[in-house]
Amino acid sequence: MPCRGAEAPRLRVDDRRVLNGIYWRLRTGSPWADIPERYGPYTTCYNRFVRWRKAGVWDRLFDAVSMAYDGDVQMIDSSSIRVHQHGANGKKGTRRIPPPGREPDDRCMGRSRGGVTTKIHALVDARGLPIALKLTPGQAHDGRSAADMLDTLGGGDVLLADRAYDSDALRLEMAARGVWANIKPMPGRKRRPPFSAFLYRYRNLVERFFSKLKHFRAIATRFEKHSENYLALVKLASAKIWLRLYEPVS
């Protein structure tokens, strides 16, 4: 006979219910504690989200769905996200948001004209679907941040980008790989490189990707203190955008 007062063993909450709870929170942007009970305890949803993030589940999920990208034309851009006050406040003893000109911390938060912000960098394919994602502080330069995001470009491909990426170093690197960098040149350039305004019009696909991404309220405003958790949410939302491509329309 069990001892008096002994509790019955708790059954493990089904992973599908927990995943639906994580997506509910991703879509609504509500605090983790507000996740409805039908998805299981909110602590279970948060703990498994973090555990799966540490195990690389969200990275592998995004990499798996994005392997079907169309690589002939790729576009890169960034979008600044306002950090909520609950996400900007760290624990006692941790470094706060550094002032402009100081070395940024590893939380990918920085000060810009919009206040405390985080910048999402995205490389998308010809259908506007994400291939590579990255976080930086809000004041980070777009051109320098793109250096490690262009590995998927090869001979015969085209890169579309706005003036923030206009640099001779980036153009030379792309030319060495056989990639045509159709980047809008800065107005003050003395030597204007070849530029196709017609092809540049298709760069709106990366802007539309950010618009879809910000439909998830937990992405449109950053509530996460840790950059790893926020990037995992960005990848989870991006995987959802990818999966819409394979959903039946009938």
The one-character DSSP state at 247 is S
Domain boundaries, position 30 = 15-55
Q: Are residues 49 and 78 in the same domain?
A: no
In this prediction the pTM is: 0.86
Q: Is residue 76 part of a domain?
A: yes
Burial of 51 (0-12, 13-18, 19+ CB in 10 A): exposed
**Minimum mean pLDDT range among 54-63, 91-100, 115-124, 127-136:** 91-100
- 28 vs 108: CA distance, rounded Å: 23
Helix runs in 55-184, H state only: 57-65, 85-88, 142-145, 168-176
Fill in the amino acid letter for 209: F
Q: Are residues 49 and 77 in the same domain?
A: no
The one-character DSSP state at 226 is S
- 12 vs 9: CA distance, rounded Å: 9
Q: Are residues 75 and 196 in the same domain?
A: yes
Q: Are residues 127 and 31 in the same domain?
A: no
Q: Are residues 130 and 106 in the same domain?
A: yes
Q: Are residues 28 and 126 in the same domain?
A: no
Rg (CA), the chain: 21
| Segment 68-116, tens digit of pLDDT | 888 789 999 999 999 988 777 765 555 555 555 444 456 888 887 768 8
Q: Are residues 212 and 154 in the same domain?
A: yes
Quote the number of domains for the chain. 2
Q: Is residue 241 part of a domain?
A: no
Strands 115-124 and 130-137 turn out to be antiparallel
Q: Are residues 110 and 29 in the same domain?
A: no
Q: Is residue 84 part of a domain?
A: yes
Q: Is residue 102 part of a domain?
A: yes
Q: Is residue 1 part of a domain?
A: no
